[in-house]
Amino acid sequence: MNSRLQDGDIAWYQTNINNYVDQIDLFVLALQHYAERKVMLVVAISLAGGIGIFTLVFLPYGVFASRSFAR
């Protein structure tokens, strides 16, 4: 693009700039979707980890407490 513009080929530049910008837009959109999927994956893994930690910390107390009352 720059070489055509520097050569003074304004007509070619005006004709093809829309396609060039559209390609950049599609690339940025794909990159955005990829980043959004990665963020959702991180959130899901974080929630699963938090639930796992919560379960490991508090579930044994609930199980042992109910067993002590059963005796």
* Predicted confidence (pLDDT) per residue in 15-58, tens digit: 889 999 999 999 999 999 999 999 999 999 999 999 999 988 88
**CA separation for the pair 22, 50 (Å, rounded):** 42
Segments forming the whole domain that contains residue 66: 2-70
pLDDT at 62 over 70: no
Q: How far is CA 63 from the centre of its chain?
A: 38
The total number of structural domains that make up the chain: 1
Half-sphere exposure of 48 (CA within 13 A, CB side): 6
pLDDT for position 10 = 86
Please state the pTM of the whole predicted model. Answer: 0.61
